[in-house]
Each structure stands twice: as structure tokens, then as C-alpha cells.
Amino acid sequence: MTELLNQLERVMPTEIKGRVARTVGMAIHVNGFPAPLGATAMIQRETGSPLFVEVVGIQENTTIVSPLGSTTGVRRGDQVRLVKTGRWIRVGDGLLGRVVNAFGEVIDGHPASTLNRRTDLDSPPPSAVNRPRISEILPTGVRVMDAMLTCGRGQRMGVFAGSGVGKSVLLGMMARYTGADVSVIALIGERGREVNEFIENELGEEGLKRSVVVVATSDEPAQVRVRAAMAATAIAESFRARGQHVLLLMDSLTRFAQAQREIGLAAGEPPATRGYPPSVFAALPKLVERAGCTKQGSITGFYSVLVEADDPQEPIADAVRGLLDGHTWLSRGLASRGHYPAVDVLESLSRLMPQITTPEHLAAARRIREILAAYRDHEDLISIGAYRPGANTTVDVAIAARDQINAFLQQAPEQNSGGQQGIAQLIQLANVCQLPTGVNPAVQAGAHQGVSATPRPTVATNQ
């Protein structure tokens, strides 16, 4: 009943019509058409089928609309008619195992499912004060993620990567092996060739059974790509409202931002940081804040960020890193050496890991990080043979355990070894990599650098 009342509030009791005045790039300017922002309208072309558009801006007496299809055949004077003022999508269990477009229409060639419920595309995020604290681990099935970058139910993580470093494979592994009830996968701005490849090779038949795949390829209008990201989030919200734990995988958030940039510039916004208008940086938090925990269920979000020129400081990567609860960095250097998943542990972080892991697990992860950092700091000396064994015990351990650690951090796509199994392996590995009893690496490092490093005696005190 509440949903019906909300829809009735947005109904406009009078018919609204206008005429196409001109086009500027991909924006269409309409005269005499006072429709609200976000409304859907229809342009009746002289030839061919009608073109559906969405209102994205208002300039003086002109309404700016963005096309949801090809603009071929649109001409000045074509009639524009308001269709609906709200944006919604049909949802239900019938979406599981299906591939849909930005409008929720099935595109996998099978008969459409019966969906009796619908939800808004523009639902507000859960209230900040009503969000439960994140306290449970969500297994992803990827060992390096579950052990070294542990994620909680309702957390939002970024997967930062350049092109061709295994981002899609990593997301496919998560979708197949996750401990969530449902996976919602948004493929935004992907190449058309890659959609079936992802579904058949990375997701697989078993992964698809409990997943919903939302697709908007790179050749579709910018408004459709933006709408696809919102549709995937709305579908995830509908499952969360029914008490389920959802894994939302969005590939990629960068292409969502690029589509929003196209819309903003076409609507007349001034470009700001590297050509991105302010509306892009306003849209990003509105989208990612919709994920998270509620009293009914949770949405755990993994958002891939395509980093231009492998530059972690480019505007979208920098903005998203501050919005999310952690980031996973995929390294081109690791990928070029055949190290998959190409996760650079030292450059990655899960902000909630200390809150949701046991002390033993956290200590083991920190120990492996310490060893990896020690090896990286001395890698140049080691590679040219200038490092003297015994100069730093931590580096000695790092050299001896390098193969074991690398084997632990790697995983074949068809292998599910995350969760508690991966955590147990991490603790075992950290125990193997402990320093000999009584050795202080800081003391050895100071002595190696010619600094006086006499250890202070331990004094027992009575409290």
C-alpha cells in the first residue's frame, strides 16, 4: 500500500506535450514541455518507432532530455509526450538466473518471468542511524581476499585495476564462491563480446543460478548505462528487503561515471576535474551509499574502478577510494608474472577487517604484510645480490618464505579455497614465518646501519 501511495503522489493529472527544438550532441532540447527531472517521455518520429527519452535538465523555457535509444530520425518539430514521472523496475525471484537490460527486460532469449512486484530506481540509502554495525564476515571464496582483506556483510569495497589484469576473473570467482544468498552483477559499458564470455566462462552455470546479471554495453546511450547501474542496485535492494544477504558486483563504476559525465556535459554543466562535471561526484555517493546493512538483510558491494594509465590518483579512483570501506589494488606487474589473482596486498586495505576478525587471524595477516613489505623494501638489493644474509632477520625470513607466500596468495579460477579454509592456511603460514625466539629485527637493522643497538633489559615490575 505504501508503494502504491508513493507512486500516486508522483502522478501528474494533466497530459504534457512539447516539440523538439534542437539537438546538441546527445542532448535533445524540447520547447513547451514542463516535465519534472527524471520523467520518461516519448518522441514520436515521423518514421520508425517512437524514441523514449529521460528528462535530465531545464534551461529557461527549454527542457533537456537524454535519449534511451538511437536518435536516428529525430527532427525539429517532432511531438514529445510525457509517459511517466517515476522510474521503477519489476523485481522478484523470477529474475534469478536471468540476464536483463537496464529496464529489467530479459535479453537471454528465454521466455520472460512473471514479476509481481516493482521497486523505485531512485530509492534513498538506508538511514545512517538505523544501519546495524557490520560484525559478520562474508566469505568470497577467494583466498587472498578472505584471509588478507577480509570483508564483512554490508561492506563496500573497490577493485582498482587497469585494463587486462584479471578484474573480470576475480569478480566471477566471487560470484561463484560467495557465501551470500544472491549475487547481482552489473556489467556497465562492457564490450558486447565480453558479456557472454563472462557469463559462460567466469560465472558459469552454477553461479548464474543464484545471480541476476544486468547488462548495458558500451554502444548504448549514456542514460541507459547510468540506468543499468541504478537498476542493479534496486534489484539488490529488493532482495535485501526480503531478509537476504546480497553480493552486488558492479563492473565498472568508472564507466558509470563516464556516462554521467556525458549526460552532464550535454545538459550544459561546466567541466571541472579532468572534464568531469560536479554532477558526477554527486552521483557516486548516492549510488554506493545504497549498499550496506539494514535490519532485514545486507548488500555487500564490490565496485570495480578502471584506473586510467594505472594512475591511482586519477579523479574517479581518488573520489571512490574515499567513499568506500576498503580497496583492492590489482597490479599489472603481478599479472605480467602470471600471479593471479593479481592482488597487491600491500597497496590494498579492508577498513573493517580489524573489527570482524579474531586476534589470531589479524596478527597472522599483519605478520605476512610485514614480511611482504620487508622483501619489497630490499628487493633491489636482493635482485643484484648485494643483500648480505643475516643483516635483517625479517628479510631473511621473507627470502626463505617467498615461494610459500606467493603460492598462498595465488589461486586458480576453478578453485574455491577461501573462507575458514583460507584463514586457517594463513595462520599456519604465519606460524612458519615467525622469527627465531629472542631475535629483535629492529635491533639487527640498527646494527646493520652502524647504529648502536644495545637492547634494553626487560624489567619485571609488580603491579
Q: What is the pLDDT of residues 178-199, one digit of tens each?
A: 989 999 999 999 888 889 988 9
Cα→Cα distances 41→23, 30, 129, 260, Å? 16, 11, 37, 19
Note the pLDDT of residue 35: 92
- Looking at per-residue pLDDT, the higher value among 357 and 13 belongs to 357
What average pLDDT score do residues 235-251 get? 95
Cα–Cα dist 319/257, whole Å: 11
The pLDDT of residue 269 is above 50: yes
Report pLDDT for 6: 62
The pLDDT value given to residue 268: 87
Q: Model confidence over 114-153: pLDDT tens digits? A: 888 989 998 999 999 999 999 999 999 999 999 999 999 9
User: Which of the two residues, 9 and 220, has the higher pLDDT score?
Assistant: 220
State the Cα–Cα distance between residues 359 and 362, nearest whole angstrom. 5
Catalytic choice (98, 156, 190, 225): 190
The pLDDT value recorded for residue 1 is 54
Maximal C-alpha separation, the chain = 93
SS3 144: helix
Nearest to 374 by CA among 349, 348, 402: 402
Q: What is the DSSP string of 271-327?
A: P-GGG--HHHHHHHHHHHTT-EE-SS-EEEEEEEEE-GGG-TTSHHHHHHHHHSSEE
Where is average pLDDT lowest: 147-151, 166-170, 302-306? 166-170
Q: Could you read off the pLDDT of 311-358 as tens digits, one per residue?
A: 778 899 999 999 999 999 999 999 999 999 999 999 999 999 999 999
User: What confidence category does residue 361 fall into, taking pLDDT thresholds of 50, 70 and 90?
Assistant: very high
Q: What percent of the chain has pLDDT over 70?
A: 91
Could you report the per-residue pLDDT of 395-417, keeping only the tens digit for each?
999 999 999 999 999 999 988 88
pLDDT at site 13: 58
Say whether pLDDT at 52 is over 90. Answer: yes
Does position 434 have pLDDT exceeding 80, yes or no? Answer: no
Active-site entry in 167, 176, 225, 227: 167
Give me the pLDDT at residue 11, please. Answer: 59
For residues 155 and 353, give the distance between their C-alpha atoms in angstroms, rounded to a whole number. Answer: 10
Find the catalytic residue in 22, 133, 191, 388. 191
- Among the residue ranges 275-289, 302-316, 323-337, 420-434, the one predicted with the least confidence is 302-316
> In whole angstroms, what is the distance from residue 405 CA to residue 410 CA?
9
CA–CA distances in Å: residue 356 to residues 134, 135, 360? 8, 5, 12
Reply yes or no on whether 167 is catalytic.
yes
58, pLDDT greater than 50: yes
Q: What single-letter DSSP state applies at residue 198?
A: I
**Residue with cell string 599483519:** 366
pTM: 0.89
Give the other-Cβ count within 10 Å of 426's Cβ: 24
Amino acid at 312: P
pLDDT, residue 443, reads: 40
Spatial contact of 229 and 186, defined as CB atoms under 8 Å apart: yes
Q: Which of 12-16, 102-106, 212-216 shows the lowest per-residue confidence on average (mean pLDDT)?
A: 12-16
In the residue annotation, 190 being an active-site residue is answered as: yes
pLDDT at 293: 95
Q: Is the pLDDT score of 460 beyond 80?
A: no
Measuring CA to CA, which residue among 246, 75, 276, 82 is closest to residue 175?
A: 246
d(CA 349, CA 353): 8
pLDDT of 453 higher than 60: no
131 is catalytic: no
pLDDT in tens, 26-51: 899 999 999 999 999 999 998 889 99
Pair 178, 141: CB distance under 8 Å: yes
* pLDDT for 104: 93
Residue that wins the pLDDT comparison between 345 and 432: 345
Residue 43 has φ and ψ, to the nearest 5°, of -100, 120
